[in-house]
């Protein structure tokens, strides 16, 4: 979804939300949470609050009238009943036609509600300097992780990674071959030629640094230092980090910077590195556009993947080269090495395949 559309939708949600949710929203903007994350959280809050009214848990007539007292005295059994409704697809009224949600989606629902309750019980300051209330029912609600071993997950992910020479082959495909798959007189070809350098730079910086999609689209021109081959990004939780870029990505970034001003005509106040044009105005490219762009190129090259798989590609290649989970976790911006266990399984499989060829 375009950034402008997300902002519009957020404004629509803000108009129907209780005041404490609006306070939460302002607080998280300062962290900062991404607009897409806050948009998804608003959707979850609307669904949950609507269910509370339908079930008679809240006596409010509309969402904006739901009280803090209702949330303070919400029972664990109520939240568990809501989760069951989501899983079994038995929500009434507005959600009667909705089918049961996946466990991954339900986990995201719990995460969004946990974030709100943590804010209300720990982070916010009322007039007396204290949180609005202290009883956090969401601390009693657990999530169930998807039942899948790291080895199984590695096996599923591996075909979607551009390992070894495929990283360079993928970028070269976009650079020299993708144009030939398009009709010479189509609008798609015109758009590709205009945005070719930008698209290559975006693919290259994720493949060469492993930064997240949200981190990539939020890069400003001043955050990039090609001389030192580093880029400053805002990690989850609002922490700033300086990330190394592999040398193979630098030429693509240089090429884009050479044409950025001429092709996108940005205002002097436009700080965003990666731009798009809309109605004659240069704007920061949004995450959904990059998702579609990466999907388009990767599908034409080999298999449709997301920008997150490009991040996995960098992590796997870096681990194969260094055999260090610590280095990989630092490169990806993880607080611990636990998340990087996945890459050891992917590389182990690569090594086994290599042995079979001896």
Establish whether 311 is a catalytic residue. Answer: yes
Return d(Cα 252, Cα 177) in angstroms, integer.
16
Question: Of 296, 304, 308, 330, which one is the catalytic site residue?
Answer: 308
Reply yes or no on whether 343 is catalytic.
yes
The β-bridge partners of 225 are 230
CA angle 119, 238, 224 (to 5 degrees): 165
Cα–Cα dist 40/52, whole Å: 19
Out of 189, 236, 284, 304, the active site residue is 236
How big is the CA angle at 81 (ends 76 and 87), to the nearest 5 degrees? 130
Length of the chain, in residues:
358
CA 339 to chain CA centroid, Å, is 16
| Residue 230 falls in the annotated catalytic set | no
Count of C-beta atoms within a 10 Å radius of residue 331: 23
d(C-alpha 2, C-alpha 169), whole Å:
30
334 is known as an active-site residue: yes
Q: What share of the chain is helix, strand, coil (3-state, %, to 5)?
A: 65, 5, 30
- CB neighbours of residue 222 within 10 Å: 9
φ, ψ (nearest 5 deg) of residue 143? -105, 150
Answer for the pair 294, 308: CB distance below 8 angstroms, yes or no: no
Asked about 196 being catalytic, the answer comes back as no
Q: Is 264 a catalytic residue?
A: no
Return the beta strands (E) in 135-266 as ranges. 224-225, 230-234, 240-244
> What is the signed CA dihedral for 217, 222, 227, 231, rounded to 10 degrees?
-40
Rounded to whole angstroms, the maximal C-alpha distance in the chain is 72
- Spot the catalytic one: 311, 312, 317, 345: 311
Count of CB atoms situated within 10 Å of the CB of 270: 18
Tell me which residues are annotated as active site: 212, 236, 308, 311, 334, 343
């Amino acid at each position: 979804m375009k950034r402008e559309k997300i902002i519009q939708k957020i404004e629509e949600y803000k108009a129907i939300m209780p005041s404490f949710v609006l306070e939460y929203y302002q607080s998280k903007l300062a962290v900062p949470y991404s607009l897409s994350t806050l948009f998804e959280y608003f959707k979850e809050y609307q669904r949950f609050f609507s269910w509370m009214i339908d079930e008679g848990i809240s006596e409010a007539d509309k969402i904006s009238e739901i009280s803090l007292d209702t949330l303070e005295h919400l029972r664990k059994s109520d939240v568990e009943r809501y989760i069951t409704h989501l899983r079994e697809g038995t929500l009434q009224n507005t959600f009667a036609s909705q089918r049961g949600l996946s466990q991954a989606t339900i986990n995201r629902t719990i995460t969004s509600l946990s974030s709100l309750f943590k804010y209300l019980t720990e982070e916010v300051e009322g007039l007396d300097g204290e949180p609005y209330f202290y009883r956090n029912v969401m601390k009693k609600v657990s999530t169930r992780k998807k039942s899948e071993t790291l080895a199984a997950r590695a096996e599923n992910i591996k075909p979607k990674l551009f390992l070894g020479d495929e990283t360079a082959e993928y970028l070269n495909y976009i650079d020299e071959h993708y144009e030939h798959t398009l009709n010479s007189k189509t609008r798609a070809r015109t758009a590709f030629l205009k945005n070719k350098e930008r698209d290559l730079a975006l693919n290259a910086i994720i493949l060469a640094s492993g930064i997240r999609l949200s981190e990539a689209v939020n890069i400003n021109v001043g955050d990039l230092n090609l001389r030192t081959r580093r880029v400053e990004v805002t990690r989850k939780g609002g922490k700033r980090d300086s990330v190394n870029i592999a040398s193979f990505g630098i030429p693509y970034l240089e090429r884009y910077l050479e044409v950025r001003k001429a092709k996108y005509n940005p205002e002097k106040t436009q700080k965003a590195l990666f731009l798009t044009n809309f109605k004659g105005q240069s704007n920061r490219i949004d995450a959904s556009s990059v998702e579609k762009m990466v999907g388009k190129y990767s599908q034409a090259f080999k298999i449709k993947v997301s920008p997150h798989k490009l991040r996995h590609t960098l992590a796997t290649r870096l681990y194969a080269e260094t055999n260090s989970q610590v280095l990989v976790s630092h490169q990806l911006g993880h607080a611990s090495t636990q998340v990087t266990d996945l890459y050891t399984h992917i590389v182990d499989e690569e090594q086994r395949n290599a042995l079979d060829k001896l």
